[in-house]
Structure formats: structure tokens, C-alpha cells
Structure 1
Amino acid sequence: MSADATTLAPLVLSDRINSMQESQTIAMAKKARALAAEGFDVINLSFGEPDFQTPQYIKDAAKEALDQGYTLYTPVPGYLELRQAICDKLQRENNLSYKPENVVVSTGAKQALVNVVMSLVNPGDEVIVFAPYWVSYEEMVKLAEGVPVPLVGSLENDFKVTAAELEAAITPRTRLIMYSSPCNPTGSVFSREELGAIAEVVARNPHVHVLADEIYEYINFVGEHVSIAQFDEIKDRVITVNGFSKGYAMTGWRVGYLVARKEIASACEKIQSQITSGTCSIAQRASLAALQGGRSSADEMVTAYHRRRDLVLELAKDIPGFRTPTPSGAFYVFPDVSGCFGKSTPEGQTISSAADLAMYLLNDAHVAAVDGGAFGAPACIRFSTAAADDKLREAFQRIKNSVSKLA
């Protein structure tokens, strides 16, 4: 039989992969690249990636690491020197006392989050996810055969869940709470008072753990960043995740970390040992240099992000049908666009959802963004402000022009 006549057997993929959704940020980025490949001038505001280069001193440390022979396997939880530097950072900046045995360095903060979920969640366990949430949280819970329970914060409260709302949502099956502050996608930042009230609720429910995603910690426009692990009564049930991608513009280096009580850290190390083992040696040495170099480069980037946020808020305020809250951190704006629903495009298509509007803006304005349904907020759209000022001005002028065509 010739090769051309060979018939492939039917392929049966696992239920696990068939039930999993692709990351919508990555999916929209693919569509934007495809349109750009056709010759269109697409402005991509869909990705959560700094538009800055990694600071030079961090690059230099990576080159030096190569010359010094850091090319072998690394310990699964990370180099001891890096874990100690993370502990020093947490003590200095977050008033948190940990030892290196409490730290697991991972291939990006995303892996750290998965490690925790897989270590704590059994089939049927409920995981309360503060919504709007980062797109991957729900899929991580499903991968562990848990039950995601989105808990939506109101726009009037800057999308933040209150302690009372949390207490009403907890059941005997609740195992874990997941949230981010500053938040992706809303940019909301929980205050000390708000987290203190949430900590009191958690303290009354000893079967519940908290997974705090603090990857946007440095990109904060309101001053104080508060880690919920600072509240002693629940510290042993808090797992804090952070990394280097956002604050140090190191997205491609793929280094994150988690800190937790020893038993949880050991469980996460055990999972990581069977999936990826230790994180890249060169990237770890670069991350050590990042911590040793302080926050000055991060603070310079935050100044730019703050300016861009204000620029975009000014540009967005006159777009019909948009209600755009003021984010307190991160580098996104997350307008409620439900005022556009029910209107029609010049081609006669009805805008029935944020997903429809996002696709209309991609095809008509050639601006890529991610619809809020992916984040548990189907009335909203996320626009990244991690782009040059002139790109942002052009993008939001195009958006305004396209939205104005709706009737």
C-alpha cells in the first residue's frame, strides 16, 4: 500500500484536554498575528507583556553565569542563593519571614500556581476564584478536577470581592481561594483593611487555604502593597506566588516562585520534580541579580505605566458605550462595554457580547484586545496599556472611530 493510501487511525484525545479551553489571550494574539501577516497594521493590546527590555545589569548577569559554568541541572526548588534572596526580599518589602525551605522556584509564576492547585485540590473540591480573574485560574482548577466557583466583585467596588461576599460563598467543600492583587485584568488593588477583613473570614474557616497571586506587586499606583500572608492568624494557610516577568520585564526568562509552609512547599517541589525539575540555571542567576539590583529599574517602568494609564483613561472617556474604572495597578484598563450591546456594525452584524465587539474592533479598527468573558466578566474588554504612548493614542482613536460607526 502506498503512503498516500494510508489511512490514519481515529485519534482519541484525553477527556482532560478536550474539556480544557485555550488561553484566550494567546488565542487573540494568534488572530492578531494572522491579520498582521495579511498586511494589516494591527495594534496588539491583547498581551500582558511589558514593552520594555530586561534591564542591562540582569542581561549581564546571565552572560556572566554562562562564563562561570552555570549550565548544569539545578536543584528542583531552585538555587539556595536565589531562594535566600527571595526570603530577604519578602522580609524587607513584605514583612514576611520565611526560610529557603519554604520557597520553590518555578518555570514562571504560572507553574507555581499550578503546582499549588495540584497539591491542594482533590476531585470535587471547590475553589473560590475572585472574578474578574486571570484567564488560566479556572482551567487550572479543572485540571485538578476541582470545581471553580467564580465570585464576582462589582464594578462599583472596583471589581473587588468583599469579606461578606466571601463568607456567604464558603461551603464545607471549599478548599482554596484564588485572587490577584494588583489584579489582572482589572488593575484593582486590595487595601490592608479589605484584606484584613478577608483574613478574618478565612481564620473562621480552618479548612480553607488562600492562593495569593502577587505577580503585579511592583506595578502599583496607590502606594502600599499588602500581602495577605502578613496576617499571622492565617499565614500558615496562605501561599504567595510572585515572579520576575512583570516587575523586571523578564517574561521570556520564565522564573516565578511560591512561598508557603514547609509541607506545602515540599508537595509543590514533589510535583515539579516529576514535570519540569529545576528552572533554567541561567535564568535563575539573572533573577538573583534582579533582586540584588533593587527596584530602581522597576520603579522607572512603573512611572511610564502610570502615565500611560492616565493617557488611556483620558482617551477612553469619550468612547460611546464604554464605562472605564480607574485601575490602581497592573497595566490594563477593563471597561464595561455593555453600552454597545444591541447595536449593529456597518455590515449589519449585531453586537451581542464583548466577544462580538472584540472581534469587530480587530477586523474594523485593527486593534486586538481580549473579551471579558475569558476573565469571568462578559460585559467587559481588557486592553493592555503596555505599549508606547503613540501606539495607545492611535489605538484608542481607531477604537473610538469604529465604535462611533455602530448604530
Structure 2
Amino acid sequence: MFGRAAALAAAGRPLLRMEVGMPHSDTPAHIKQATIDALLAGKVHYSNLPGELHFREAARDKLKRKNALDVPVDRIIVTNGLTHASYAAIMALIDDGDEAILLEPYYPQHIGKIELAGGSVVTAGLDAANNFAIDPARIEAKITPRTKMIVLINPCNPTGRVYTRAELQGLADLAIRHDLLVVSDEVYEDILFDGAEHISIASLPGMEARTISMFAFTKSYAMDGWRIGYMVAPDWAIGPLLKITANDVTHVNTFIQDGATAALTGDPAVLAGLVAEDKAKRDIVVSRLNQMAGVRCAWPEGTIYAFPDIRETGLSSQEVAERLLEDAGVAVEAGSFYGPTGEGHLRVCFGSLSEEDITEAMDRMQRFFGAL
């Protein structure tokens, strides 16, 4: 859908693009300034392979404060965004013939990483009627002697769920009982609404030694183009992980780690302001979607996505997405892109546009669904 929208935009078609999880806001000024200062100070040479010590110290303090993870700096590795962290984790820990379970609707990019590592993807479909809650029975039914890991995204892209402690405990119990690893994508940890609480699964009893926890600045601080994140791993996994990261990128750009440090140590009001903008946009999108003919939309508890149910239209999610692009000039993604469980839904990114453009996009979508 991104490619089709890009081609139409290049041809001069005025589009409102809500298909890509890209923040609309600019990176906060204090983060940019810290990076500029680092450049001007000559921080342009090689860094430590796992990352600059001052950044890892700031990450350590944040992990203890926000994630209930009390870890030393030598268990933190700086990465080129969360995508790189998950690539390193899967490449280091999945061997030929291993199986990795994705909770469906899943994030499609994880599939290629598992396959590149020689593993097989197994999906455990969650129930839309149960708000895509983690269901241990559905997951356990997919576990075989070859299962090595479960990949978790919390808060969840694309559904907008923020999993409860009880849901995460159910998943943790499975991992412990079957001796499985968990690779936990927590890139949306800061973007929470209506009192939702983000819990890192590694903080649950018995999970720290079997979990790779991954974080980034991409969404929270509007730093998608910066490509910086970090992961936390047990002692036994650090060597294998560094074998991947040292050989594929050597280390993350030295000077941008000063910017990331400023993000972690700066005024929390900056982050709160960015999240407040996301909430205002969410409120517009979800309230408007629920006014459209044949559309029902649960309120996302986190992330920058709404996942409306369009099954009442009688059309497939791919057909609706394509017709919205062609007929209304609004780009969204088909829920089926996230696996069969996502069929009958659309993923609508409300973080990628201004409030004014979001309102126009909702007007166009309302006319489109009304005309059906």
C-alpha cells in the first residue's frame, strides 16, 4: 500500500496518508541540540561496540524507573532502532528448524527475520470478539518440541492493545512451563491512553533470564529517521547478540547517542506533550470512525493506530483499502496484511498527520462508507 500510495503521490494525486506508522511531529529541539553539540565537540569516531557508556547508563536508569528492570549496563546493547534489535535477537537465538510463534494479528516484518535465521513461523490467532486478548490456550496449542520463542509486541501494533498484567502472566507461565524465550517489542511503551499501564514482561517472576526486551525512540520522540534503540538481555545472550551487531553494523552512530541520552534525561513534559497530541488525534479518528456506516472501532489503549472493524460492509479489507485509496485519496492498510485474523479490519495510523489533515481524511472516509 505504501508503494501504491507513493506512486500516486508522485503522479500528483493529493493523498492523505495513514498507512505508515510514521510520526507527524518533529524531533524535540533539545534532542537535536544535544546531537549538534556532540558533532561540534568532535564525537565523530568509533564508539564502544555495545554503545556509548553515558547512553547505556541513562537507559539503565530509565529501565529501573519505568520498566521495573534493574540491570547493569553490560546487559544493554544500543541498536539501529528496534528493527535492528529484533533482527539481532532472532539471528542470534533462532537456529535451523526452530519455530517462533507470532501472536496474530502480527507485525509482518518479523516473518522475514525468522526465515532468514532458518526458522519457521507459527502463528497463534487471537480472537477479535475478545478484543484480541492474549489467550494462553490458543498459544499453547501451537507449541511443539521445535518451538524456541514467542514474539510479543506490547503495546500492540496493529490492534492498539496494551496487555494487562494477567494477560502477560499467562504468557509468562507458558514460556516458563515450556522453556521458551520471549522477544518483546516495546517500541510503543510511552504512548498510552486512558490510564493504560505498560508492563515489561521481563519484570515478571522468572522471565528476566528468558526475555530479550527491546526499546526505541522512533514513535515516542518522533525519531523514526534517527534509527536508534536498545535492547536488554540476560547475561548468557549478550555474547551471541554482540556477535550479530558487531558484524552487521559495528556500532550505532556515535553522536546520535548523545541525542538519545537527552531524550531519556530531558524534561518529561516534552514526552507528555507528544503523547497528548497522539491522544487528541486518536479521539478524533475513533469517534469519527464509529459514526461511519458499516464501521465499528474499539478505542486503542496505546500506539498510534486504530483497527476498525469493517466486516459489515461485506467487502474484504484489501478491497476496502484499495478503494479508499483510489476513490477517496486516503491511504490505510488492510488488516489482512497482519494475518488472517486481521481480515475484516483496517489499520489506520493517526500519528502520521496533523489534526487538520486527520479531520479531512475522516470526512473523506465518511463519505466513502456512506456511499457504499
* TM-score, structure 1 normalization: 0.88
**What does residue 224 of structure 2 align with?**
251
Structure 1 match to 2:322: 359
Q: 2 CA distance for matches of 1:359 and 1:269? A: 42
Partner residue in 1 for 2:350:
385
CA distance in 2 between counterparts of 1:158 and 1:392 reads 25
Shift of 1:161: 2.1
1:163 to 111, 125, 136: 136
Counterpart position of 1:396: 362
Deviation at 1:210, TM superposition (A): 0.4
Instruction: State the one-letter code of the partner of 1:396.
Output: M
Assess if the C-alpha contact under 8 Å between 1:181 and 1:189 holds in 2.
Answer: yes
- 1:102: how far off? 0.8
Contact persistence 1:211–1:239 (CA under 8 A):
yes
> Secondary structure in 2 aligned to 1:297?
helix
Corresponding residue number in structure 2 for 1:368:
331
Residue 328 of structure 1 aligns with which residue? Answer: 301
Distance in 2 (alpha carbons) for counterparts of 1:230 and 1:272: 25
Match of 2:261 among 256, 266, 288: 288
Q: Deviation per CA, 1:351-388, whole angstroms, max 9, x where unpaired?
A: 4x211211111010000111112211222211100121
Q: What's 2:93 paired with? A: 120
Mapping of residues 186-201 of structure 1, within 5 Å:
186-201=159-174
Partner of 1:218: 190
8 Å contact kept, 1:106–1:255 = yes
Q: Which amino acid aligns with 1:309?
A: R
Matched residue pairs, number?
368
Instruction: State the alpha-carbon separation in 2 of the partners of residues 265 and 337 from structure 1.
Output: 44
Secondary structure of the residue aligned to 1:182 is: coil
- Is residue 2:119 matched to residue 1:146? yes
395-404 or 89-98, larger mean C-alpha shift: 395-404
Whether the aligned pair in 2 keeps the contact of 1:244 and 1:256 (CA below 8 Å) is yes
Matching residue's letter, 1:216: Y
Q: Is contact 1:180-1:214 (8 Å) kept?
A: yes
Larger radius of gyration: 1
| Counterpart pick for 1:177 among 133, 150, 154 | 150
Query: How far has the Cα of 1:162 moved from its partner?
Result: 1.5
Q: Is the 8 A contact 1:133 1:185 kept in 2?
A: yes
Which consecutive residues of structure 1, in runs of 5 or more, have no partner in the other structure?
1-27, 342-350
Partner SS for 1:251: coil
Q: Deviations over 1:71-129 (max 9, x none)?
A: 01222211111112111110111111111111111111100001001111112211110
1:71 aligned partner, one-letter code:
V
Q: Determine if contact 1:152/1:161 at 8 Å carries over to the other structure.
A: no
Partner residue, 1:62 = 35
Secondary structure of 1:284 counterpart:
helix
1:283 shift after superposition: 1.3
CA distance in 1, matches of 2:244, 2:74: 16
Provide the secondary structure at the position in 2 that maps to 1:240.
strand
Q: Distance in 2 between matches of 1:167 and 1:198?
A: 9
1:241-278 CA deviation, whole Å, 9 max, x = no partner?
00111111111110011101122122111111111110
Gaps of at least 5 residues in structure 2 are none
Percent identity over the alignment is 35
Find the counterpart in structure 2 of residue 21 from structure 1: none
TM-fit CA distance, 1:168:
2.5
SS at match of 1:279: coil
How many Å apart are 1:395 and its aligned residue? 0.7
Equivalent residue number for residue 25 of structure 1: none
1:148 is paired with a residue whose SS is: strand
More relative contact order in 1 or in 2 (CA 8 Å, sep 6+)? 2
1:402 aligned partner, one-letter code: F
- Indicate the SS of the match to 1:165: helix
- Residues 160-169 or 306-315, more deviating: 160-169
Larger mean CA deviation between 359-368 and 146-155 belongs to 146-155
Whole-Å separation in 2 of the counterparts to 1:254 and 1:70 = 18
- 1:335 partner letter: P
Q: Of residues 190, 209, 232 in structure 1, which corresponds to 2:181?
A: 209
| Alpha-carbon RMSD | 1.3
Please give the secondary structure, in 1, of the residue aligned with 2:188: coil
Q: Which amino acid aligns with 2:336?
A: G
